[in-house]
Amino acid sequence: MSNPKSTALVTGASTGIGAVYADRLAKRGYNLVLVARDAGRLDAVAARIRKQADVSIEIIAADLTQEAALAQIEARLAKSDITLLINNAGMALQGSILENGSAELSRIVALNVTAPTRLAAAAGKAFLAKGDGAIINISSVLALVPEMFEGVYSGTKAYLLNLSQAMAAQLKDKGVYVQAVLPGATRTEIWEKAGRDPNSFPEGFLMEVDDLVDAALVGFDRKEAITIPPLHDESQFTAMLQARAAMAPNLSKSQVAPRYR
């Protein structure tokens, strides 16, 4: 899916997944709005892309945990040229919930939950009004297996998956496509920032970021609601979705289940 007259806004675009999305989308003909805190690194990404693709690139240095910056990006999403939002900016904690203070916990919720929610809402409203657009929310496989990692990060990613599924259901017949991408462990700077050495993981555990984004874009072209690039046996996820759908009609009843009597 590409449109040379369209513009994609990418958050967390200075490195890792966001930077690779910017590169791939530029090659598809999208103009870009790149958002991250570090203007210098954004400029470097933009310079590299300009050597390979004839597209316009707008840089917005913004800390999405700050109200003024978040409002600025919401306003930019409301402009008519934006047709694609990559909700990628995020962070992990160093240590568990019990090893972090109030400031750290507030920051991860602000960046991983509040910011993508508000940006998805702003984009969704703008796209709905013109009957066209797409939102890609970068969740995580930890949304499905919270026991494998600390619960705050996985909880924020489970929230983003939930939001994506709800928005996809609400907007799919109105010209707006919503995709949740669930990376597994991917070789990006998030590990160092969380105090982990990515080279300490077992061989075959970490996916290269280029492979992750390329696979996610295959899912995007196929209009998948949920894309899980590292999952080889898709039937496992299909079975989980079928089990959840079968359980759904039984989750709200007027009578208490017999096992609780």
Question: What are the residue boundaries of the structural domains of the chain, listed by start?
Answer: 7-234
Return the pLDDT at 1: 45
The CATH architecture of the domain made up of 7-234 is 3-Layer(aba) Sandwich (3.40)
Concatenating the DSSP letter of every residue in the chain gives ---TT-EEEEESTTSHHHHHHHHHHHHTT-EEEEEES-HHHHHHHHHHHHTT----EEEEE--TTSHHHHHHHHHHHTSTTEEEEEE------SS-GGGS-HHHHHHHHIIIIIHHHHHHHHHHHHHHHHT-EEEEEE--GGGT-GGGS-HHHHHHHHHHHHHHHHHHHHHGGGTEEEEEE---SBSSTHHHHTT--GGGSPTT-SBPHHHHHHHHHHHHHTT-SEE-TT-S-HHHHHHHHHHHHHHGGGS--SS--GGG-
Confidence class for position 195, pLDDT limits 50, 70, 90: low
| Claim: this prediction has a pTM higher than 0.85 | yes
> What is the share, in percent, of the chain residues with pLDDT greater than 70?
95
List, in order, residues 6 or more apart from 150 with CB less than 8 Å away: 92, 93, 95, 96, 97
First to last CA, the chain: 54
Active site residue 159: no
State residue 196's pLDDT score.
Answer: 67
| Residue 100 pLDDT grade (very low, low, confident, very high; cuts 50, 70, 90) | very high
Q: Of the listed 153, 159, 177, 260, which one is catalytic? A: 153
Q: Kindly report the CA angle at 44 between 43 and 48, in degrees rounded to 5?
A: 115
Query: Quick one: pLDDT at residue 2?
Result: 46
Tokens representing 195? 């105090």
Which single residue is written with the structure tokens 């999405």? 64
pLDDT above 90 for 242: yes
Contact between 163 and 121 under an 8 Å Cβ cutoff? The reply is no
